[in-house]
Amino acid sequence: MTQFQRLKRFQATVAGLIGTVFIIGFSVTLVPGVLAQSLPGPVANAAQPSLSEADVLQSKAGKAMADQNWAVAEDLLLQAQHALHREHGVVTEQQGPILDQLARAHIEQKDYRQANQFKQFNHFLGQRSTSIDTRVQSEIALARWYLYSGQFDAARRLLSASLKTELAREPFEPERALLRLDIERFSARCCHSDDAIKLLARAKTQNLPADLIAQFEQKIGDLLTLDGQANLAAAHYAQQNAVKDQTPQLISGLRRYNDLDPNKVGDMKLRQELRRRRILAGVYRDEALWSQAPQTFTVALSEDFLPIAEAAQSEFGGYTDNFEPVIGAPFRFNLDQLKQALPTRYRKLARLETLEVQMTVDITAEGKPTNIRFEDRYPRQVRELMKQVFKVARFKPAIHDGLPVETLDLPFVQRFKSADSQTEAEV
């Protein structure tokens, strides 16, 4: 039933985009069409849009985007799209680059919902192609967008729910497999490291370039570290042969933590008793009633990550079109959840953005942060939040002479500025 609802919603999205295309096309051509009827034949024919006209309009849009005139660029791109529709029909693969540029224009204007629709519509067009390679590349492009916009569940669904499916795919697509390993780090239940190792073994049978194999090794090493198998991860890190020495590096991904106070013994005993009664009665799920819902934070895959998170699930099932703001670096938090965890003085965004937490941590050879030290000037809630986060955060350990080693007194800074307020030097 859920899959049927998602299909209906996607069909509605596509239908809406096509409807928008018709409306825009009608509005663009209404006046020129009236003028063309009153002019002689050759002039009327000259007014008809062509593919070359679309190229000119797209080039002008590119210049407007370079000048950050996003509204102007959007208008030019819609005209270019209409020119293609007049030449090739409403649904044409040739509008793919225009749709990508339209999506970027909406991203820059923080209209993520509309950008999401353009990305999905581009995937829809790619799946209609007779070329298998085009269909695969459109799937990869949409999955990458889902990953980089924080829609981790949607990315996993698009590229199959398990790495086992990736193992069985024919032919083997290295780009798709690498993206699937990235998505694994942002799954709610990381990590299927055994399947990841099998995927690496298959990649090694494909005569891939050494740099691609090194990427596989690095991603599998990260998954093993997150999976608590640092002894196996060390061998994969060593296989990269990129550098003999490196400092600890925070591993990107989605992590969950429970904000529980271990000192509240009475609360824990009460929860245990309620769990026991729930089991005897056989009614509601334990975590829905008596356990605090786990909080999440993410570590950005790269600087291309957008300051948004996956749309929240609606009470009627399915997903809404509202994206949730995410703030912080290198740990990224849902803004509403973060405000609830911190003192009331940080409820205002302007005050929150002034918060900068300076810490010192030790990193074990297994990548676990320990012995976290703060200055006394930070409120208790801030220190407790960072301690809970560091319990589940993982680092690629320092490498010395090709072997993982412990790192002492590593300085670490957590900021809570939004992407817009960061200076160029900080970025």
At residue 125, does pLDDT exceed 60? yes
Asked if residue 73 lies in contact with residue 61, where contact means CB atoms within 8 angstroms, the answer is yes
Look at residue 315 in the predicted model and tell me its pLDDT: 53
At residue 245, does pLDDT exceed 80? no
Residue 28, phi then psi, degrees to nearest 5: -70, -35
Mean per-residue pLDDT, 361-389: 92
Look at residue 44 in the predicted model and tell me its pLDDT: 42
277 confidence band (pLDDT: 50, 70, 90): low
Q: Which tokens hold the place of 13?
A: 């999205």
Most confident of 187-191, 209-213, 397-401: 209-213
Q: What pTM did the predictor assign?
A: 0.79
Residues pairing with 356 in the sheet: 415
Residue 180, phi then psi, degrees to nearest 5: -65, -35
Task: Give the angle 388-389-394 at the CA atoms, nearest 5°.
Answer: 125
Q: Is 420 helix (H, G, I), strand (E, B) or coil?
A: helix
272 versus 183: the higher-pLDDT residue is 183
At residue 38, does pLDDT exceed 50? no
What is the chain's mean pLDDT, rounded?
79
Contacts of 312 (CB under 8 A, 6+ apart): 319, 320, 322, 324
Closest to 392 in 3D by CA, of 411, 358, 367, 414: 367
Look at residue 217 in the predicted model and tell me its pLDDT: 92
375 confidence band (pLDDT: 50, 70, 90): confident
DSSP string covering 64-120, please?
HHHTT-HHHHHHHHHHHHHHHHHHH-SS-GGGHHHHHHHHHHHHHTT-HHHHHHHHH
Q: Domain boundaries in the chain?
A: 1-128, 153-242, 250-258+294-421
Look at residue 242 in the predicted model and tell me its pLDDT: 55
At residue 182, does pLDDT exceed 80? yes
353 confidence band (pLDDT: 50, 70, 90): very high
Look at residue 387 in the predicted model and tell me its pLDDT: 93
* Interatomic CA distance for residues 52 and 37, integer angstroms: 23
Look at residue 321 in the predicted model and tell me its pLDDT: 63
What CA dihedral angle connects 38, 43, 44 and 46, to 10 degrees?
-160
Most confident of 162-171, 208-217, 262-271: 208-217
Q: Which of 6-15, 242-251, 257-266 comes out lowest in average pLDDT? A: 6-15
At residue 203, does pLDDT exceed 60? yes
